[in-house]
Amino acid sequence: MLENEVEQKFISAYDTYQNAIFRHCFFRVFERELARDLTQETFIKTWDYIQQGKEVKNMQAFLYKTATNLIIDYVRKKKEQSLDAMTDAGFQPSNTRDELGVLDAKMEVEELMNILDTLDDMYREPFLLRFVEGLKPKEIALVLNEDVNVISVRITRAKRQVIQKIKKNIQ
């Protein structure tokens, strides 16, 4: 394949998948800047891979797999930041009405993410890829190197568990 043609395909993939990869990263690390960095690193690693003359058969699956690996690497290295450290860094809760609305929305998302965190990784990842990223089970199977039927079962089980936990929290 010609160099220019490879470059155009990569640019097209960037335009097509950049927002989805960002969301994928964000819903796993919950830090906008870190998600941007991980997204950028995903595309840099993909470009480097292509520049080495290696072929990518399914760009979407390759990008998700690369992003997931980068997230796993980050989580392994991450150290929890304490509330004291956050306060020392200048974090101060606010009481303005607009910020309270934003805080309520963030708390709902945080509650949902806490529920998702209780799921085993084998259920959480397919669930997020399906319902946050909008991937089809066949695409998820490519990303996770699993059988499509296995992925479908895991999505169904994860959905059932999430619904049960939400109902339990409401009561």
Asked whether residue 113 carries a pLDDT value surpassing 60, the answer given is yes
Tell me what the pLDDT averaged over the chain comes to: 82
Transcribe 66-83 into DSSP letters.
Answer: HHHHHHHHHHHH--PPPH
Q: Which of 6-10, 93-97, 113-117, 167-171 has the lowest mean pLDDT?
A: 93-97
Query: Could you tell me the residue range of the domain that residue 19 belongs to?
Result: 1-80
Q: Give me the percent of the chain exceeding a pLDDT of 70.
A: 80
- Residue 158 domain-assigned? yes
- Residue 88 domain-assigned? no
Asked whether residue 97 carries a pLDDT value surpassing 50, the answer given is no
CA distance 55 to 41: 19
Say whether both 1 and 76 belong to one domain: yes
Say whether both 35 and 106 belong to one domain: no
Higher pLDDT, 20 or 93: 20
Cα-Cα-Cα-Cα dihedral sign, residues 33, 115, 130, 122? positive
pLDDT at 102 (0 to 100):
53
Backbone angles phi, psi at 55, to 5 degrees: -95, 140
| Mean pLDDT across 1-26 | 89
What value does the CA radius of gyration of the chain take, rounded to a whole number of Å? 19
- Residue 85 domain-assigned? no
Say whether both 111 and 74 belong to one domain: no
The answer, as to whether pTM is greater than 0.85, is: no
pLDDT band, very low/low/confident/very high, at 81 (cuts 50, 70, 90): very low
Say whether both 58 and 100 belong to one domain: no
